[in-house]
């Protein structure tokens, strides 16, 4: 296979280039923005439709699979709690859809491990697009921030993390009158993102096989479901 660039995450820490990271984020956001005007084309070529008006229905179908959920280690009580959250899921999806952010391409695995730097051609290349769906753009950006914190040992208070977060969301903040309004939307997006992550697991499992995912320790659905129950019982944006 032809080598087309260096993985951004593999850059030695002493030469880690913030500017390259920021450029990669901006390039991805620009890509999302341009595609938001052509969503129907992507739906016509069978890119999965996870838009907010579809997401609550996907969640309802997901939690109705009781045997599947029990097989993942959930108790009957936990399965019932997931079903009872269906109304809350619909409310959150409807609330998020009311904000002025267009839905577009979502890459579930947008992170610095899927960004290549081609120094010869001075290009940034985003790879691993086989799992894209149409949904809310923040789902990709929130995953990016989560992975940055995990792999670069950053916290929400670190200057570098705050700079990265600003690059991710600065183009969207202009649509909100106050910082509080934007933060309210961000909290809602984080909760709805967890819904998206849950229902996406079915597609992920179908594509890769549950046994393969477990072998590589990429299958933690039971933990995700319990975390989802806990967060939604505690947080009401």
Query: pLDDT, tens digit, for every residue of 106-146?
Result: 998 999 999 988 866 668 889 988 889 999 999 999 999 99
Q: How confident is the model at residue 2 (pLDDT cuts 50, 70, 90)?
A: low
The vertex-43 CA angle with 141 and 37, nearest 5°, equals 60
So what's the pLDDT on residue 14? 47
Q: Is the pLDDT of residue 180 over 60?
A: yes
So what's the pLDDT on residue 213? 67
Query: What residues does 6 pair with on adjacent strands?
Result: 117
- Yes or no: say if 195 and 92 are a contact pair by the CB < 8 Å rule: yes
Q: Please give the model's pTM, rounded to 2 decimal places.
A: 0.90
Q: Give mean pLDDT, residues 23-44.
A: 96
Q: Give mean pLDDT, residues 80-105.
A: 95
Q: Give mean pLDDT, residues 161-175.
A: 95
So what's the pLDDT on residue 228? 86
Q: Is the pLDDT of residue 208 over 80?
A: no
Helix (H, G, I), strand (E, B) or coil at 118: strand
Range in 50-64, 88-102, 189-203 the model is least confident about: 189-203
Q: Is the pLDDT of residue 204 over 90?
A: no
CB atoms within 10 A of CB 228: 20
């Amino acid at each position: 296979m032809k080598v087309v660039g260096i993985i951004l995450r593999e850059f030695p820490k002493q030469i880690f280039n913030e500017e390259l990271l920021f450029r990669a984020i901006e390039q991805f956001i620009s890509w999302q923005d341009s595609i938001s005007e052509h969503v129907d084309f992507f739906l016509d070529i069978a890119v999965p439709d996870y838009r907010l008006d579809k997401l609550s229905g996907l969640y309802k179908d997901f939690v109705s699979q009781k045997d599947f959920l029990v097989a993942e280690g959930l108790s009957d009580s936990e399965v019932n709690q997931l079903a009872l959250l269906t109304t809350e899921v619909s409310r959150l999806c409807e609330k998020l859809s009311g904000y002025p952010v267009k839905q577009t391409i979502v890459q579930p695995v947008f992170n610095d491990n899927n960004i290549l730097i081609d120094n010869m051609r001075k290009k940034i290349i985003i790879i691993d697009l086989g799992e894209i769906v149409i949904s809310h753009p923040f789902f990709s950006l929130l995953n990016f921030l989560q992975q940055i914190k995990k792999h670069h040992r950053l916290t929400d208070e670190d200057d570098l993390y705050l700079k990265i977060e600003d690059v991710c969301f600065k183009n969207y903040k202009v649509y909100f009158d106050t910082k509080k309004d934007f933060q309210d939307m961000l909290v809602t997006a984080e909760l709805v993102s967890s819904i998206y992550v849950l229902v996406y697991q079915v597609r992920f499992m179908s594509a890769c096989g549950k046994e393969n995912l477990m072998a590589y320790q990429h299958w933690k659905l039971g933990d995700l479901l319990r975390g989802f129950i806990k967060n939604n019982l505690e947080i009401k944006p």
